[in-house]
Chains A and B, each alone.
Chain A
Amino acid sequence: MQTDVQKFAATPGTHIEMTYFDALMQAQVEEMARDERVVLVGEDVAVYGGVKLLEQFGRNRIWNTPISEGSFTGMGIGAAINGLRPIVDLTVGSFLYLASDQIINQASKLRFMTGGQIDIPVVVRCCMYPVGSNAAQHADRPYPFFMNVPGLKIVSPTGAADIKGLMKSAIRDDDPVLIFEDNHLWTVKGDVPTDPDHLIPIGKADVKREGKDITLIAVAGAIRATMEAVDALDEEGISVEVIDPRTLKPLDHEAFKSSVAKTGRLLIVDNAHRVCNVGSEIAAVMAEEAFYLLKRPIVRLSAPDIHVPFSPALERDFYPTKERIMQASRQLL
């Protein structure tokens, strides 16, 4: 099987530079063109970001819904068990709570509860917002809640090539997949394979930067502050290996262990609130299964156990910053 490295080392001309957002749109356009069962459902999707899709595919494939998050998500799940492959766009991560009953009690359980009779090929998209005075009801990172639910696959791509490849994998998957996008990654550019079958397997982490002193696992949007910190640390002579899990369920613990076997030090940066977040889970598994590899205690950086504030003065240092990541890295050595 072709590895990711081989895939990304394709010959010149097979990649095109584009933003994360354009790559996300391209994935949807290609998959909708490839499979007429793929439809897009959500609030304002025909206007926001969906204009190109509407022009190309028409109103029978792009469905602007009433403000009924719980039931249009359930409708997407119902359509999935009856022949379609819907993409349900919930737009704002915090809206997932409204749809959570249908995602948890229906989508995640139907296959199991029916003894495998039912396939549920539904994709649920949402976007998470970084600083910008969105306040507490539009700024959550709800992925930890859903990680505690069996039966869901959860991805959190951070680069243009990754969002395209993981979005396509999610749409082609026969199980429910949640996609957590990050708004402050939308404008980030990257080289994206033009291959219409560019797929990134769900469940595989990616080494974004090789290093030898510290393993740093950056979850979802934490990658931006992380890369800035890592560049600065490099100038100080500290070599950090950065791993992007890309998939949060299932986590690629083997990739984390391989890196920690090399560095002996682990820092996890996760912008979700600190209690029971992705960092908690990774730290627990590493303590259980790879304690002997660690030279120092695991360090976690997260948003505090406090709601996201509105005021810029309160919000500025709310998420792990470049400075805090640098400081934590130095202390680990």
Chain B
Amino acid sequence: MRQFKGGKIPGYLHTSVGQEAAIVGACLAIGDNDAMTGTHRSHGHPIGKGAHLNALMAELMGKEGGICKGRGGSMHFADKSVGIMTESAIVGGGIPLATGCAFSAKVRGVDQVTLCFFGDGAVNQGTFHESLNMASLWKLAVIYLCENNLYAFTTSLAQSHGQADIAQRAPGYGMPGLTVDGQDVSAVYEAVAQAVNRARVGQGPTLIVAETYRFDDHSFRSSSRALGYRSAEEVEKHKRDRDPLSLYRKVLLEEGENEENLRAIEDEVTDDVKQALQFALASPMPRPETLPDYMFKSSLAG
């Protein structure tokens, strides 16, 4: 945040704060060789899937050392080395791609599964309808994971869904649909792990709706907070009662984990972030003459 305000991070910044458990719980249930697609709120997915923080932070700053060489930015944190094929900033745009990743696994006869993240807004796109139908028809190994944070930018679920129970869409496609507490990392993990088991043995896709909440504004620079689409009290209540990090910390302490160990882990994370920040700040900007790089695999003749 300080880096954004200090002008080091250009463009928009869509943070995943508040949605960590939905992301991490789902990612823990799949393996290194499994595929994933994400959304414009793309910071959390690669961290959950195991990408290195340094290159992610450098990407936020548009640096040459960024995971996408400064070509993608905040909304496009793909890291193929850990199976993150793409993060689509066209809402719902990644759903057909995830379906295609799973289609490829079926044709190739491998037991890879694909985890497809999208938000409550994307459920109203045609790609959701078309893709879930095909995945069900061909029993593709894909898990459709809806991070339902209750707002598509400023438009609430109630204002945009004729039927607000998103999991209820699944039976219409002939697949199981379930809702889990997205602030409970264990609950998300359990639900996704079961769906992964179904998918790996050829029983097809599952729709999982993780009920979560976005603690920050839609994006920094969008200035939507002032528009009053959700109350300060509502946000504060979620931050106080529904912070997935605090909730899981409490669970761990109750299960006998000691405070010192948790502090040590938290310090380690803080160090990693500091190190990533240093790496990113030190990374050079891409040279202007490299603008055409990465347009084509085989260069254009003519």
Contact = CB atoms under 8 A, between A and B. Distances in A.
Contact of A106 (B67, B88, B133, B297): B88
Nearest to B96: A74
A254 B302 contact: yes
A68 B134 contact: yes
A118 interface: yes
Contact of B298 (A84, A115, A175): A175
A81 B134 CA distance: 18
Nearest to B110: A83
Interface residues of A, number: 52
A118 B76 CA distance: 12
A81 B98 CA distance: 10
Contacts of A119: 297
Contact of A151 (B70, B134, B295): B295
A59 B51 CA distance: 37
B100 A70 contact: no
B101 interface: yes
A115 B71 contact: yes
Given A78-B98, A84-B104, A114 B301 contact: no
Interface string B129-170: 011011001000000000000000000000000000000000
Interface stretch (A26-34, A48-56, A190-198, A201-209): A201-209
B80 A117 contact: yes
Given A70-B96, A75-B96, A81 B85 contact: yes
Interface residues of B, number: 49
A82 interface: yes
A78 B301 contact: no
A173 B298 contact: yes
Interface stretch (A156-164, A245-253, A265-273): A245-253
Contacts of A204: 301-302
B188 interface: no
B302 A118 contact: no
A178 B63 CA distance: 32
Contact of B99 (A74, A110, A116, A150): A74
A76 B298 contact: no
B295 A81 contact: no
A73 B126 CA distance: 13
Contacts of B108: 37, 83-84
Interface of B: 35, 37, 66-72, 76, 78-81, 85-86, 88, 90, 93, 95-105, 107-108, 114, 126-127, 130-131, 133-134, 137, 293-298, 300-302
Interface of A: 37, 39, 60-61, 65-66, 68, 70-84, 101-102, 105-106, 110-119, 150-151, 153, 173-175, 201-204, 247, 250-254
Given A66-B133, A72-B130, 5 more contacts: A70-B126, A75-B131, A84-B104, A113-B86, A202-B301
